[in-house]
Structure 1
Amino acid sequence: MKMQKYHIDQNRRKFLKGFSFALGATAFGMPLLSLASDQAGITRNKSKRYDSTSSGVKKLGVALVGLGRYSTNQLAPALQETEKCYLSGIVTGTPSKAGLWQKKYGISEKNMYNYQTMDQIRDNPDIDIIYIVLPNGMHAEYTIKAAETGKHVICEKPMATSVKDCQQMIDACNRNHVKLSIGYRLHFEPHHQRVMELGQQELYGPVKKIEAADSFVFQRDPSSWRLDKELAGGGPLMDLGIYCVQGAIYTLGQEPIAVTANFDEVTRPDYFDEVEQSIKWQMEFPDGAVADCSSSYNDSASRLYGKAERGWWELQPSFGYGGIRGRTSDGPMNLPNVNQQARQMDAFATCILEDKQSRVPGEMGLRDVRILMAIYEAARTGNKVKIG
């Protein structure tokens, strides 16, 4: 029998509903009303409301909801490099994490929340953006809560675990007149932007075929939420395969019209008794192009390839946080690797400051979840599933 899921001392259904975050609520539950209790001697340069240059450009405050690996290793460091936003607050159910983050990033105690006090962010002028970095099955609940505070929202991918939840998230943001963006970092990465140009502008002629694979060998704790169907919504397709779906779509600038799929054999049933271990699928596009894709928790792959009438291009590695390399039939791309998350968050801050639509809005997240659900249906039934 599997160990109890996730590392919070509550069962997963209570966790999914948010109740388990009561853990330690009294330890730092009510945000304080004064800055006087900030840690002495902490340099708070990165938390200034305005930058240190003479331009006085406003920087928007970002609160991270959930302090897991992605927030810890990617988003928080990226917020030290952003030009138009900064790390101003956190929401966590673990008091020990709160203390560590406060010391490391100089976060004011009045900007530290838990899951029961998160609604009080509405009264905090230091926070302009709430970034939801929780298990997939919790995205809808906490995106809606974030929208109800009147703050703009970024939600990590996949947007949610059902099309219905995605629509409810969009409706909540519209109802509260806030912007919603999905954490599709690769739209802001130079190699992937070049792929968009090559494919959509048909610089080598019409694209005929795409190949995409994103996989890794899952060796984490078998109690990880990523192996819990209720919290993850699925396995590698939801976690990694969404990058393949995205890559095919923005290579072509088209949406798929049909999909076929199949699950691969489960060789590690101690891990994969709730979510798929591996999956392969093919998407068909309106102009006749096809995309052959795969994603697995028992393999290693990171590749996006496109073949057109007069040439080809390939990114490999393709989907990671750095070290992306690209080449074409004419030679290397010779493009820089950048901090993808910093660019992504700065782009959303610009949208807010200039009142523009996000390049990666909630509607895109909903579209992709609809495609993911069609892939699962095709794999379960063995039938071609139309998308539309």
Structure 2
Amino acid sequence: MKNFDSFSSASRREFMRTLSLGLGATLVGSSALGGSLSWLEDASYGPASLEALQAGKQLGVALVGLGGYSAGQLAPALQQTKLCKLAGIVTGTPTKAAKWKQQYQIPDQNIYDYKTFDRIADNPAIDIIYIVLPVGLHAEYVERAARAGKHVICEKPMATSVADCRRMITAMQKAGKKFSIGYRLHFEPHNQEMMRLGQQKVYGPIKTMKADNGYHASNKSWRLDKELAGGGPLMDMGIYCVQGIVYTKGELPVSVTAKFGPKTDPELFKEVESSINWQMQFADGAVADCRTSYAENMNSLLRADATKGWMELQPAYGYGGLDGRTSQGPMNIENVPQQARQMDDFADCILNNKPTRVPGEMGLRDMQIIEAIYRAAQTGQKVSTKDVVAVLDKVSPKLKQ
């Protein structure tokens, strides 16, 4: 998950007071179409998407929560998308509503707060609701979005528990709407290349893997509140490592072992772990050693060593500046607007009625693995993951050959 709209304290009570702020209203916005059809053709999008583009039609997206990720990444990305556009906002902060209204030409009747959120059901201009809230609120707002009859993208991690993940999937299935998790790196070419190299065994079977991701957390962050975050760096940063290992290997682990790191600041980390190291074991004997931390700035790393070579991304998980190399040399891959590609792909899935590459079931799968890692760290025992939902990450069609 990312920074949350108007939440600067680890107090849920303060957050709930923020939710009580009233604005009222509904949604709609605009973004320039621009460009040619090459974006869609290169992405192998369906015929309905090409028709929509030619007709100048875009699906409307409402961002729920206007924190750093919405402001710094998603809203700008929605100015680059071809199949969808920023059509509205949901915020508990009137000053942010006013700023976004002016910046993105969002009319008053197209702005909601958290009390009026459910009225979005009556707004045909909104097709997709993108949940960008603290993790502890994901389940509630996905269920409300489902009742409103909207398609949903939910930021990662999907929820604070496996039980909540199942509730969310059931709600979206009952609504008959598409449901996607914000796993942007599935649409990023460096990480797609790691999928291709690993899954197609270009350098032979993978034997060992490494994944690191971490940073120094702020003492004012909601991420240190167990109720809102669900856990510490494993939930926030470590999930990238879990994802990277699984989509590079192309298999699910059969077991995990783990150990919490020392709490360098017990007062700061009263509710969540400060760091955790874990290992994922696979049926063929391959292992993946992973680390994540809120007490250490780590170089985000994804590496795999195989029988005939190796491949590595470093940095691996950022919004830009990713870089990759293999035992044969640099990958020489261009960085792309990840979030724009992610959201356009979801719009394509809606328009052509096809499944998303990053469904709710994948979010459930990852939460099952995360819960297993936590159990392993708490008990000091190896924990089986053989019952994890079997959702595997497939290589992009453009990368199969």
Aligned residue number for residue 288 of structure 1? 285
Q: 1:349 aligns with which of 338, 347, 350?
A: 347
**1:230 aligned residue:** 227
Matched residue count: 365
Cα gap change, 1:54 to 1:162, in 2 (>3 Å): closer
Quote the offset at 1:102 in angstroms. 0.4
Structure 2: tracts of 5 or more residues without a match: 1-5, 35-48, 388-401
Name the counterpart of 1:12. Answer: 12
1:61 to 1:119, Cα distance in 2 relative to 1, 3 A: same
Query: In structure 2, what is the equivalent of residue 267 of structure 1?
Result: 264
The amino acid of 1:235's aligned partner reads G
TM-superposed deviation, 1:281: 0.1
Q: Secondary structure at the match of 1:299?
A: coil
What is the aligned partner in structure 1 of residue 159 from structure 2? 160
**Structure 1 match to 2:319:** 321
Output one character per residue of 1:246-276: Cα deviation in whole Å (capped at 9) or x when no partner.
0000001111110000001111123111111
Give 1:278's aligned residue.
275
Task: Please name the residue that 2:126 is paired with.
Answer: 127
In structure 1, what is the equivalent of residue 309 of structure 2?
A: 311
What is the one-letter code of the residue matched to 2:129? I
Q: Secondary structure at the match of 1:295?
A: strand
Q: Are 1:253 and 2:254 matched, yes or no?
A: no
Structure 2 counterpart of 1:30: 25
Conservation of the 8 A alpha-carbon contact between 1:236 and 1:276: yes
**Contact map agreement 1:88 1:127 (CA 8 A) in 2:** yes
**One-letter identity of the residue aligned with 2:325:** R
Whole-angstrom CA distance in 2 between matches of 1:363 and 1:184 = 12
Contact 1:217 1:297 in 2 (8 A): yes
Aligned to 1:63: 62
Q: Secondary structure at the match of 2:303?
A: strand
Q: Is residue 156–residue 183 contact of structure 1 (8 Å, CA) maintained in 2?
A: yes
Q: CA–CA distance in 1 between the matches of 2:168 and 2:302?
A: 30
Does the 8 A contact of 1:46 with 1:87 survive in 2? no
Contact 1:47 1:87 in 2 (8 A): no
Q: Distance in 1 between matches of 2:9 and 2:227?
A: 17
Residue identity (%): 59
AA paired with 1:246?
Q
Normalised by the length of structure 2, the TM-score is: 0.87
Distance 1:293 1:100, change over 3 A: same
Conserved? CA contact 2:30–2:85, under 8 Å = no
Alpha-carbon RMSD across the aligned residues, in angstroms, is: 2.2
Partner of 2:109: 110
- For residues 375 and 332 of structure 1, the distance between their equivalents in structure 2, rounded to whole angstroms, comes to 33
- Secondary structure class of the residue paired with 1:217: coil
Q: Could you tell me which amino acid in structure 2 is paired with residue 161 of structure 1?
A: T
1:11, CA displacement in angstroms?
5.2
User: Whole-Å Cα distance in 1 between the matches of residues 125 and 86 of structure 2?
Assistant: 10
Letter in 2 for 1:213: D
Structure 1 gaps, min length 5: 1-5, 36-42
Kindly indicate whether the alpha-carbon contact (under 8 Å) linking 1:234 and 1:276 is maintained by their aligned counterparts in 2: yes
**Deviations 1:128-147, CA, capped at 9 Å, x for gaps:** 00000000000000011011
Q: Deviation at 1:31? A: 3.7
Displacement after TM superposition at 1:278 (Å): 0.6
Deviation, 1:325, is 0.3
| Letter aligned with residue 326 of structure 1 | G
Q: 1: CA distance between counterparts of 2:8 and 2:214?
A: 27
8 Å Cα contact 2:30/2:87 also seen in 1: no
**Aligned CA distance change for structure 1 residues 164 and 47 (closer, same or farther; 3 Å):** farther
